[in-house]
Amino acid sequence: MIEIWKTAKQSIKKQVPGHTYRMWIDGLQLVQAEGNEFVLGCNNSFSKTWITQHYEGVISGAIQSVSGMPVSVKFDIIGSTSVSKSGSTKKTASTKRTPKIPAAKQQLSLPNIHKPGTQGQLFRKGFTFDQFVVGKSNEFAYNASLSVASGSRPDSNNLYIVSKTGLGKSHLSQAIGQKMLDIMPQQRIYYVTAENFANEMVQSLQKNQMNQFKEKYRKICDVFILEDIHFLAGKDHTQDELSYTLDSLMGFDKKIIFTSTYTPNEIPKLHDNLSSRLSSGLITQIESPDYETRFRILQRKAALNGLVLPEEVNHYLATELTKNVRQLESALIGVAARSSLMGESVNLKLAESILGNIQQQQQEITIDSVKKLVCKYYNVTGDDIISKSRKKAIVIPRQICMYLCRKYTDHSLGEIGKTFRRHHATAFHSVTAVEKKMKQNSNIKRQVSYLCDKIDRDFSE
């Protein structure tokens, strides 16, 4: 029977994607086989549920094909049962069971992550593992995230997801939280941005409520998901508090998930002790999706929105749009909107008209073109903007220029900084400074919005 299972696994390996096989099938063990009944062992209850729902048919079909007889496949948790000589099963003494919690109490014990409030932000409904399209560019990050959520590896409690904007790091971080709430509704999961964490700490200091703040994050929290960790660059007191919080959570083997557009060693003005803690877990990166992944993303999102997308249109969009997932979504929305509002069928001509602007924008926006636009708007020279001047009239245009270069080009912070005769740390500071000023200063926000609109218009004509 063991040989039948080994041969069946090889058959399944050819039928499912590599990441699926490694994550769900390879670790299954043949626990019992009598007659036409096969019992396969899973690592935990989450794996059992997931495999039963998604792969039971594939597994049953493979075993049946190899054995040449109809079979019944069941799944059990490894270590939860033992087989007696009579073939019956019984629970072992070492089995740990999560006590069943009455529905009313489960609802009360849920963290405020599902309610607007100080405990965290709301998860997005579509940000689940089921809705995440896996490809070569994100396969490792997906597997690592699923491993954290499922608890399939006891040593994988600390995960750091890195990617540029729009590639799916927030999707994965929220998918972890939502899956864990599905498995264990009593878990207290705090999902916050680094900015909100810092603001909450400041408010707690002002209201003399730091003890409650520390209690909440260090002792009550079971899963801590912190987005955009780079926001804490240069915030010394918040970094210290976060370091103590992480020490406490790690000491209790709690799960911690970070996201950022930068790796820990790329974030300037980050304390060594915090950088060390951020780097202590698994760091995984999401790259821009390849053609095959882009094609499947468009298929999935079109289906979810009830849009029939002809294959030639799907191929065209996937070929032309290479930057990120948000770009694909934007194009898909444009195609759907034009089709609906103008009463046109979705075809290649319609898709080409929508993508014309996006394509030209992708090809023509450069650091130099952004510099020229900013210099003209603020009436400064090219020499001024790369000079060492600390005058406000020069510093603000310089910072905004770096922000726009980061937003509209694919150049790294190091490359952007170099064109301004500065280090990547200065470019990083400029980008975060503009992001902050846009929230606090309506004039700056208005100026940046105007320049963004100007870039969008100028490079789409």
Percent of the chain with pLDDT over 70: 86
224: enclosing H helix or E strand? strand 223-227
- Looking at residue 335, its pLDDT comes to 82
Mean pLDDT of the 294-305 span: 85
Strands (DSSP E) found in 103-183: 158-162
Q: Which amino acid is at 195?
A: E
Instruction: Map residue 256 onto helix, strand or coil.
Output: strand
pLDDT at 331: 83
Rg of the chain, C-alpha, whole Å: 26
Domains of the chain (ranges, CATH numbers): 2-82 (3.30.300.180), 111-285 (3.40.50.300), 291-364 (1.10.8.60), 367-458 (1.10.1750.10)
Separation between Cα atoms, residue 134 and residue 111, nearest integer Å: 29
Q: Give 135's strand partners.
A: none
Residue labelled with tokens 């994607």:
17
pTM of the full structure:
0.62
If you average pLDDT over residues 273-291, what whole number do you get?
A: 90
Nearest Cα residue to 217 out of 256, 272, 185: 256
Tokens of 85: 């000589």
State the Cα–Cα distance between residues 164 and 183, nearest whole angstrom: 30
Q: What residue ranges in 65-128 does DSSP mark as E strands? A: 72-77, 81-83, 89-91
The mean pLDDT of 164-172, rounded to a whole number, is 88
Span 330-360, pLDDT tens digits: 888 888 877 777 777 888 888 887 776 555 4
Distance separating alpha carbons of residues 96 and 100, to the nearest angstrom: 12
Question: What DSSP designation does 265 have?
Answer: G
Q: What is the pLDDT of residue 99?
A: 33
pLDDT above 90 coverage of the chain, percent: 28
Mean pLDDT of all residues in 31-39: 86
- pLDDT per position as a tens digit, 312-321: 888 888 888 8
Report the distance separating Cα 294 and Cα 291, nearest Å: 5
CA separation for the pair 127, 208 (Å, rounded): 36
Evaluate whether 149 touches 175 at the Cβ level (below 8 Å).
yes
Region of residue 146 (phi > 0: left; psi between -120 and 50: alpha; otherwise: beta):
alpha
Tens digit of pLDDT for each residue in 387-400? 999 999 999 999 99
State how far the Cα of 43 lies from the Cα of 136, in Å rounded to an integer.
26
Q: Quick one: CA dihedral 77, 80, 85, 86, positive or negative?
A: negative
| Average of per-residue pLDDT across 139-156 | 83
329 to each of 80, 300, 317, 321, 336, how far by Cα in Å? Answer: 45, 11, 10, 10, 10
pLDDT at residue 391, rounded to an integer? 93
Which 8-state DSSP code applies to residue 327?
H
pLDDT for the residue numbered 95:
35
